Each structure stands twice: as structure tokens, then as C-alpha cells.
Amino acid sequence: MTATPLLEARGIGKSYGSVLALRDVSTVVNAGQVTCVLGDNGAGKSTLIKILAGAHQHDAGELLYQGRPIRFASPREALDHGIATVFQDLAVVPLMSVWRNFFLGSEPCRGIGPIRFIDRRRARETTRTALAEMGIELRDVEQPVGTLSGGERQCVAIARAVHFGAKVLILDEPTAALGVKQAGVVLKYVAQARDRGLGVVLITHNPHHAYPVGDRFLLLKRGRSLGCYEKADISLEELTRQMAGGAELEALAHELRGGAT
């Protein structure tokens, strides 16, 4: 018997006035797997993740959470259901310490009655332990998060979502602005989140980043699905070819060769 997906989109559609942002898009997110959503700018990736994250609501189709139809009223409601989204801007405060950003709004407190104080020692130790469990080693959790590299900040955000009990982790272009080495580090922690049983949604425009960690690949182009493939059914070369436009790219290459002769 096949396990019920954590999250499933069935024929999802979304319009903004006369602009059709998504049409008939379907995919599933299973526990312990990475579903990659690929497409160029304007493909509909951002609209899809906003629907999954509760920021926007779909106009057509169904969104199912653990097999039951659902329509999240807000990102807070989605988070309450265990769906954590790490957007490109990361929602961090650069001048605040790593541990303050780790807890941001959920700080552990101590005290008696109405007199409560942030338990700084506990927060620091919890942050250090949570990062270590993900294999993330930072010089000091007291350092401002703005002093971390882009890759380190992404890893802290991933560890934060795992620590606070996320069941589904949505990552919006986590490697977009990173170099090769830092991108590799982030993908390592994406795989760790998957191995801890989370269902991961990885949004990217780079098939070379998606293929090593992905179990399923949803390709979008101008709001429409080009297909949703299991890893066994598509090679990196074919994934790259479809991303690049396939026959259109081959025709362009032929035209360019002809112009050079």
C-alpha cells in the first residue's frame, strides 16, 4: 500500500486578473523525498510555492494535506500544519546574533508569573545543539547572522525549520546566489533534511543542483506543467534539454551554426 503524500497538488490553477499564472499543475511531496520544481523566470514557480505556503490561494484544482483537501488562509496556518518555507530573503535580521535569529519570536523564557526573561543560555545551547545535529559548525552562535556566508545562512534557516518540527520544507532558490562550493554545502543539508524524514520542495532553475538530491522533478514553463518525472524516468541530460527548450534550442544551435559558415 502506497503511503499518503504529505502534500499533493491536483490540477492547481491561479490567475491574477487576466494573467494566468498557473494552469493544471500537479505534483506530490512525500516524506523522506525531495520534489524539485524547475523552470526559468516567469515559469510559475513562485506562484506555486506561495500557494503551498499559504501566502496565496488557488483558483482551480485541489491542494491536499495528508490526503485531505485544504486551503490555507495564511502562512501562519500552513506553518501550524508543519509546512515551513525558506524564501530567498531568508527573513533574518542581519545585526542580530545567530541564536536570536534561530528563535526569532519563539524564544525560550524563564521567570515567575508575569515577570519573564529570555533564557539566553538555554537558547544558545539549543541553537548550538540543533546546528550540530545537522552537521553545521559555526564559529560562534553569538556572531551576527549578517557575518555568515550566504550558504551558512541558508543552512541555519534549514536547521531552524527542522528543529521547530517542520514536516514539509519549501526552499525557494536556496542556491541561486551562491558559488559552486557553497551551493554544494546547502544541497548537503537539503539531503540531510530529506534523510530525517521531511518532505522537501526545492525550487530552482538549475537542473545540475536539482538532480543530485531530487527524487521527483516538476518542470514548469509559462505557468504550465511540462511533466512531473520520477528520477528513474528522466536523466540529467534530458532534464537539462527540456529546461533549455529542447527542440527550440536545437533549432537555434542549427541556425547559429549556419550563420557562422
Distance CA 248, CA 246 (A): 5
pLDDT bucket at 37, cuts 50 / 70 / 90: very high
Distance CA 246, CA 230 (A): 19
pLDDT bucket at 1, cuts 50 / 70 / 90: very low
The mean pLDDT of the chain is 88
Is pLDDT above 70 for 137?
A: yes
Is pLDDT above 70 for 2?
A: no
Q: Residue 174 belongs to a domain with what CATH number? A: 3.40.50.300
**In terms of residue numbers, what domain contains 44?**
7-260
Whether residue 239 contacts residue 211, with contact meaning beta carbons closer than 8 Å, is answered with yes
Whether residue 109 contacts residue 122, with contact meaning beta carbons closer than 8 Å, is answered with no
Burial class (CB in 10 A: 0-12, 13-18, 19+), 55: middle
pLDDT recorded at residue 151: 84
**Does residue 1 lie in a domain region?**
no
pLDDT recorded at residue 149: 84
Q: Residue 16: beta bridge partners?
A: 19
Of the two residues 74 and 116, the one the predictor is more confident about is 74
pLDDT recorded at residue 91: 67
**Does residue 156 lie in a domain region?**
yes
Reading the block at residue 173, the C-alpha cell is 532558490
Reading the block at residue 33, the C-alpha cell is 523525498
pLDDT bucket at 247, cuts 50 / 70 / 90: low
Of the two residues 158 and 92, the one the predictor is more confident about is 158
**Does residue 98 lie in a domain region?**
yes
pLDDT recorded at residue 50: 92
Report the alpha-carbon angle 66-68-73, nearest 5. 100
**Does residue 120 lie in a domain region?**
yes
**Does residue 225 lie in a domain region?**
yes
In this prediction the pTM is: 0.85
Cα R_g (the chain), whole angstroms: 20
Tally of domains within the chain: 1
**Measured torsion, CA atoms of residues 107, 112, 115, 121, in degrees rounded to the nearest 10:** -40
**Does residue 2 lie in a domain region?**
no
